[in-house]
A and B are shown apart, each in its own frame.
Chain A
């Protein structure tokens, strides 16, 4: 089965530094998402992206966050100035074209971000 791939699997950065998390969604998918999961907590929605623009974002997704689909295959999440509380597992997901409402989201295996 096709997979969503995320790189790197682990990222360590210093507080205040910029990080870019990369994702390659499944090739014919049109809907893209970022989620995060702080250790021991729920999987939290960050942002959804469709037709080259953000369709919804959560209150977590503030001005320090941005997303891009620069070349039609990659989907990136940038954190401009990382904070300690940004330490979490970040999951990328994609979904195929909407037909019936039952389409599933495919998640990557995540990037563990550690901010020191």
Chain B
């Protein structure tokens, strides 16, 4: 899986927007950009994914650079419950088939201040 680079930690205030960056300069044409998060003492949880276009869902928005070498996860109004480790993961499904694993890096630890 291609490598991603994320800041080790970020801090935000409650009810303010948060922009979590991710660099993936070696991304290939068949890599999807996935974001997961891990709340304290829980398993990872899907947040959002995209390929080329920006994406929105009820949890967050994903902004993908035109050259796809970076992306930003946007939490529009951070809450205390959003405090977690956020992982940006590239997922190559170009070869298809039965292996569909995710490879986790260290992620970004997001702290939300009340």
A residues whose Cβ falls under 8 Å from a Cβ of B: 4, 31, 33, 35, 42-45, 48, 50-51, 55-56, 91, 93, 95, 98, 101-110
Task: A101 to B32: give the CA distance in the assembly, Å.
Answer: 7
- Report Cα–Cα, A98/B99, bound state, in Å: 10
Residues of B within 8 A of A55 (CB): 97-99
CA distance A48 to B98 in the complex (A): 8
Chain B hits for A102, CB < 8 A: 32, 34, 49-51
Query: B102 in the interface, Cβ–Cβ < 8 Å?
Result: yes
Q: Given A98-B96, A104-B49: A56 and B101 within 8 A (CB)?
A: yes
> B99's contact among A4, A48, A93, A103, by CB below 8 Å, is which?
A48
Nearest chain A CB to B76 CB, angstrom units: 20
Main SS at interface, chain A: strand
Minimum C-beta distance from B69 to chain A (A): 19
Question: Is chain B's interface secondary structure helix, strand, loop, or mixed overall?
Answer: loop
Taken together as a complex, chains A and B put the C-alpha atoms of A29 and B36 apart, in Å, by 19
The interface residues of chain A lying within 8 Å CB-to-CB of B102 are 45, 105
| 10 A–B pairs (Cβ distance < 8 Å), ordered by A | A31-B98, A42-B104, A45-B103, A50-B98, A101-B32, A101-B51, A101-B91, A102-B34, A105-B102, A109-B42
Q: Is B44 touching A107 in the complex (CB atoms < 8 A)?
A: yes
